């Protein structure tokens, strides 16, 4: 039996229209988009259509660079810190995804001072802490739009304004918000991923504000605007482009649907406590806990639902979630937390069935 899929923050199913858009570039149209002949030019044109489709959801005064993942886009973006001469400080929110957090920490080995900015009990950045840490030494500030574990939405506009006042660049990891919410226009660098928007895995993109210098991360033929070498995959680009286009067309309808699913879920999980802000939240993410529960056991008992445990980080390492810890949760509370992620292709019945199975297993365990 296929489980009910409620793990849409980990990845999303491929939209059928996206599959159709990718197929021709995997079959007859196999040209290298960097070749000058007709097959190459056809593939290059498809890549440019996709670029426009992605750019349509992003601010106007910048360009889109295709990458192999959002993680690569973030690594590329953080290289901008190296171009800021005397500035050698990086500040990122403590609850960032490992793609930002671990990369920022790695910069310590490169002579940078990296600060992890604390959050309040709701998971929202403490702006006064950001203010206190900014100086003429700050090269880059990183803040995510929507948190992948708890769904809280950070005040990107304010963070970017504060970073800019100090002369720093602002990177926004928009992976969990792109295609679902309007993207705030203030950041200088914005990262996104194909497989979180019903597009393919293996492609991401970085939006870069005009005038921002970016050292290459991958050296070679210079195919992608001289910054990111390697042959682009027209199929992956076309898939990401079509996925972005559908998101643009359906953003309101998707949100209305997801809000209805979330409302139903909140009523069915009334005995659970929500982790993270109730107000500043993307509705498609419900991170909840129930005291006394062992979520590892719950997950092995509930085979009919694909969901995520709060106790294991995204890499599946089994390390306690640094996000829930940053909110001030005790280790036992972290071990009793689960994440449910709703998406475009979930139905109310999915939510009801999942709630029934999870609540039944939780009751059995706690009785």
Enumerate binding residues for ligand PLP (CB under 6 A).
69-71, 97, 99, 144, 148, 173, 175-176, 193, 204, 314
Which residues participate in catalysis according to the annotation? 313
Strand, helix or coil for residue 145: coil
Of 67 and 357, which has the nearer Cβ to ligand PLP? 67
Shortest distance, CB of residue 1 to ligand PLP, whole angstroms? 26
Shortest distance, CB of residue 204 to ligand PLP, whole angstroms? 5
Cβ(267)–Cβ(259) under 8 Å?
A: no
> Residues 254, 14, 149, CA angle at the centre, nearest 5°?
65
Shortest distance, CB of residue 74 to ligand PLP, whole angstroms? 6
Burial category of 98 from C-beta neighbours within 10 Å (exposed 0-12, middle 13-18, buried 19 and up): middle
| Cα–Cα dist 100/69, whole Å | 13
Of 170 and 355, which has the nearer Cβ to ligand PLP? 170
Of 33 and 68, which has the nearer Cβ to ligand PLP? 68
Shortest distance, CB of residue 71 to ligand PLP, whole angstroms? 3
| Token couple for 198 | 């019903």
Residue with tokens 């800021």: 84
CA atoms within 13 A on the CB side of 75: 18
Shortest distance, CB of residue 2 to ligand PLP, whole angstroms? 22
Which residues lie below 8 Å from residue 317, measured CB to CB, with a gap of 6+? none
Measured CA distances, 245 to 7, 15, 52, 240 (Å): 23, 12, 9, 9
Shortest distance, CB of residue 194 to ligand PLP, whole angstroms? 7
| H-run or E-run covering 295 | helix 295-301
Cβ(203)–Cβ(237) under 8 Å?
A: yes
| Cα–Cα dist 301/303, whole Å | 6
Of 40 and 230, which has the nearer Cβ to ligand PLP? 230
| Cα–Cα dist 313/336, whole Å | 14
Of 69 and 166, which has the nearer Cβ to ligand PLP? 69
Shortest distance, CB of residue 94 to ligand PLP, whole angstroms? 14
How big, in percent rounded to 5, are the helix, strand and coil portions of the chain?
40, 20, 40
Of 97 and 245, which has the nearer Cβ to ligand PLP? 97
First to last CA, the chain: 28
| Cα–Cα dist 116/91, whole Å | 6
């Amino acid at each position: 039996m296929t489980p009910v899929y409620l793990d849409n923050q980990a990845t999303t199913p491929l939209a059928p229209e996206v599959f159709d858009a990718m197929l021709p570039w995997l079959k007859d149209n196999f040209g290298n988009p960097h070749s000058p002949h007709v097959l190459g030019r056809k593939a290059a044109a498809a890549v440019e259509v996709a670029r426009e489709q992605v750019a349509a959801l992003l601010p106007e005064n910048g360009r889109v660079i295709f990458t192999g993942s959002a993680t690569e886009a973030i690594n590329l973006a953080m290289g901008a810190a190296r171009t800021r001469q005397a500035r050698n400080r990086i500040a990122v929110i403590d609850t960032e995804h490992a793609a930002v957090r671990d990369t920022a920490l790695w910069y310590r080995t490169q002579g940078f001072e990296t600060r992890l900015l604390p959050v309040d009990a709701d998971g929202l950045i403490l702006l006064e802490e950001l203010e206190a840490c900014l100086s003429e030494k700050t090269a880059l500030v990183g803040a995510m739009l929507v948190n992948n574990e708890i769904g809280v939405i950070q005040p990107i506009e304010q963070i970017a304004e504060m970073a800019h006042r100090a002369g720093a660049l602002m990177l926004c990891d928009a992976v969990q918000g792109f295609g679902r919410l309007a993207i705030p226009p203030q950041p200088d660098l914005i990262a996104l991923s194909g497989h979180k928007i019903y597009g393919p895995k293996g492609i991401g993109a970085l939006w870069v504000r005009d005038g921002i210098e970016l050292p290459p991360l991958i050296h070679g033929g210079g195919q992608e605007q001289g910054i990111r070498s390697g042959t682009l995959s027209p199929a992956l680009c076309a898939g990401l482009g079509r996925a972005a286009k559908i998101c643009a067309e359906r953003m309101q309808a998707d949100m209305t649907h997801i809000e209805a699913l979330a409302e139903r879920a909140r009523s069915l999980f009334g005995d659970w406590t929500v982790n993270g802000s109730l107000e500043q939240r993307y509705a498609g993410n419900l991170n909840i806990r129930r005291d006394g529960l062992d979520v590892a056991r719950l997950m092995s008992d509930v085979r009919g639902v694909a969901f995520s445990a709060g106790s294991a980080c995204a890499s599946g390492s089994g390390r306690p979630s640094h996000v829930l810890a940053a909110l001030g949760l005790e280790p036992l509370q972290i071990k009793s937390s689960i994440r449910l992620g709703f998406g475009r292709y979930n139905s109310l019945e999915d939510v009801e069935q999942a709630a029934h199975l999870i609540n039944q297993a939780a009751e059995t365990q706690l009785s």
